[in-house]
Amino acid sequence: MRTRLMKIFQLAAWFGLAIVIFSAPFGRSESYIEFVSIFYLVIAGLVLASSIMSTRRGGIDYLISFFYLFFLAYPGLVQVSFGIFPWGASLSYSDLALAYGIIALSQAAYLSGTGFYLMQRRQKLRVRSSLGNDFDLDSCVFYARWAVGFAIFALLLAVMVGPGQLFRARFEGGGEGGGLKTQFLFIGRSLSLLAMVIFLSLARYAPSMMIKRFTIWSAILYTPIFLMLNFPPALPRFLLFGNAIALSCIYIDFLKPKVKFLMTFAAVSILFVVFPAAKVIARPDASFQDIVNIFRIRDIVPKLLTGEFDGFMQIASTVQYLATEPIRWGMNLLGAFLFFVPRALWPSKPVHSGVIVSEELGYLYNNVANPLPSEALLAFSLPGVLILFVLLGFWISHVETNGSAILSSERGFHNFFLYAILMGFIIIIFRGALNAVAPQALTGILAYWVMMLAKRWKVTWKTRT
């Protein structure tokens, strides 16, 4: 019954996405925008529901579906209904219609990529990893040593940053700047999360009691350093949420529909109650009534009109920007992937796309998010959206299939580490802007790839005798 209902939801969502994509270029009226905002909300809900019911789509796919519904579709509906957009944006009906078309195209392309991967896997055409099963003692020792290395390097970065930056609450100002110390802090946070994921994974699943004991003590001793680098009041809220998700998937199976169903209620509460409550409580002038108002349902809607939910507005703004300005030919993506190159060595290094779009359109504030669909649009126009999201869907399905079942006989730790890190950072990556979040979102992924290249090339740490 669940499988049949899931397939019905998927077919309905596909049909709805096609309608939005092909009608968007012609939607220039208020009535169309009102219709498509409600229609797309239903579509995004169907996609999330099918992801929850699926036993083949894991936590990363679930979080992406959650992002489309609660960061784009729902805020978009509220903003369109009130005619109010964050940062004082003024958007035409054509801009809004095309924004919905871009969102639908990106989601359809992503679903195509995931569907193609799952289909070819069902036909047993998947190429297995050459690293194979790595539950042997040598592999566990290798990962434990690299985790220690990541932990030490993160600690050195923390020392370089200093307590003034580590423990500065993000609302005090300066905590989210683009200075070198801030970049070091972001890189250190990402490496510390990867180290903790490896420690806890080995502590739970390693076949050797020696490795289990070593990693348990390593995790215990490293916890104060981890909390120092990820000091909660100084941590961006979505990074705090991501850290919790990444560590929780070591103990929770996000392939189970029941888990994803319960996670939806938890995530909605965190997004609309816990995060706003934390922001209000952190204010020195917060009153008791301010805190009480957070829990009133009618006060949720005004939050959706603020810069906290500017994703839909930024996609529409990118459409407006590209009506008069050229595409970036991938420079915004190149700047994100080469985030580790200092601006002193690359003076023309691109600033993040949220700044580019908001400054050109004269918004009140320019350090804004820019979701991944608009990053792809800004980089290579419509072909960029289509190609990037098909590849992304294919890759994420590969990661989930091989990483979510850590105890499977044909998979191993190396897949799970990447799965956990992506679980932690996928919302941040999708929310953007990519250049702004690259140091904290991509460092862990890059470090993971370096570690796996070292394993593939059999680079080991040897002690001289």
Here the tokens at position 457 are: 């090339």
Q: How high is the pLDDT of residue 27?
A: 86
pLDDT tens, residue by residue, 294-307 = 666 566 778 888 88
Instruction: Scan for tokens 């002038």, then name that residue.
Output: 285
Q: How high is the pLDDT of residue 131?
A: 42
- How many Å apart are CA 320 and CA 384, to the nearest integer? 17
Q: How high is the pLDDT of residue 262?
A: 94
Give the DSSP letter string of 166-194: HT--GGGSSTT--SHHHHHHHHHHHHHHH
Here the tokens at position 118 are: 């799952």
CA trace torsion 359, 283, 263, 195 (10° rounding): 80
SS3 14: helix
Give the H/E segment covering residue 204. helix 180-205
- How many Å apart are CA 426 and CA 61, to the nearest integer? 9
Q: List C-alpha distances in Å: 340 to 133, 226, 343, 349, 435.
A: 32, 22, 9, 11, 11
Instruction: Scan for tokens 């784009």, then name that residue.
Output: 72
Q: Which of 48, 431, 77, 61 is nearest to 265 (CA)?
A: 48
Q: List C-alpha distances in Å: 389 to 36, 70, 94, 386.
A: 22, 19, 23, 6
Here the tokens at position 274 are: 């816990």
Q: How high is the pLDDT of residue 46?
A: 97
List the chain domain ranges. Answer: 137-252+407-456
Q: List C-alpha distances in Å: 152 to 147, 406, 414.
A: 9, 26, 21
pLDDT tens, residue by residue, 13-69 = 999 999 999 999 998 899 999 999 999 999 999 999 999 999 888 899 999 999 999
85 φ/ψ sector (left φ>0, alpha ψ -120 to 50, else beta): beta
148 φ/ψ sector (left φ>0, alpha ψ -120 to 50, else beta): alpha
Number of continuous H segments (helices) and E segments (strands) in the chain: 20, 0
Cβ atoms within 10 Å of 339's Cβ, excluding its own? 22
Q: How high is the pLDDT of residue 148?
A: 95
Give the H/E segment covering residue 21. helix 2-23
Here the tokens at position 236 are: 């961006």
Q: What is the maximum alpha-carbon separation in the chain?
A: 78
228 φ/ψ sector (left φ>0, alpha ψ -120 to 50, else beta): alpha
Which regions in the chain score pLDDT beneath 70? Answer: 121-135, 169-179, 278-299, 366-367, 405-412, 458-465
Question: Residue 375 is which amino acid?
Answer: E
Q: How high is the pLDDT of residue 312?
A: 95
Q: How high is the pLDDT of residue 156?
A: 94
- How many Å apart are CA 425 and CA 198, to the nearest integer? 16
